[in-house]
Amino acid sequence: GRAQSFTIFDTSSPTKYLSPLDASVDATWTDPDFDAEANGFSAGTAALGFESRPNDRTNFVGLFDTELPDQTHAVYTRFEFELNKASVITDLTLELYCDNAYVAYLNGVKVAEDNAPAVLGWFSQAADRGRRDRDVVEDPIELSLSEHRGALRDGKNVLAIHVLNHFQDNDDLLL
């Protein structure tokens, strides 16, 4: 056979997102069959965030297309994609820029997390401030999700990412 590499989505890809105000979707929003639009999610692009200090040496201005309200505490994001033959996927890599914390799910299965609290809910915050903004901008997180290929299915799939801010560092957010 012939190996082929392709990008499923990038920073300009469509996403659906919600800054949660309660726990009403907490049990279901990561599921591929969840109806995001019917549950208040907005349409945007994969690069989302906010920056309230644009004059700082390191800031996220220009790195996101979908602007969130200042001091957004958390955001649920859904990247939906179709696969014809999920079984032929041999390697799966996730590369992201994220400030301050995230938990990633592939079709409802938790596949990665960084700086997230042990107990996660709609109003959770990052465990600490996480990486410095300069490190977030200069060095994206690259994760192999290959061990989770079994979570993929033929047809509709979803990568869901819960992005968390840290309340003492709530002047910016980036995914």
DSSP annotation string for 10-78? -TTSEEEEE--SSSTTTTTTTSTT--TGGGTPEEEES-EEEES-TTSSS--TTS-SEEPPTT--EEEEE
pTM: 0.94
- Per-residue pLDDT of the chain (175 residues), as tens digits, is 566 788 888 888 999 999 999 999 999 999 999 999 999 999 999 999 999 999 998 999 999 999 999 999 999 999 999 999 999 999 999 999 999 999 999 999 999 999 999 999 999 999 988 889 999 999 999 999 999 999 999 999 999 999 999 987 789 999 9
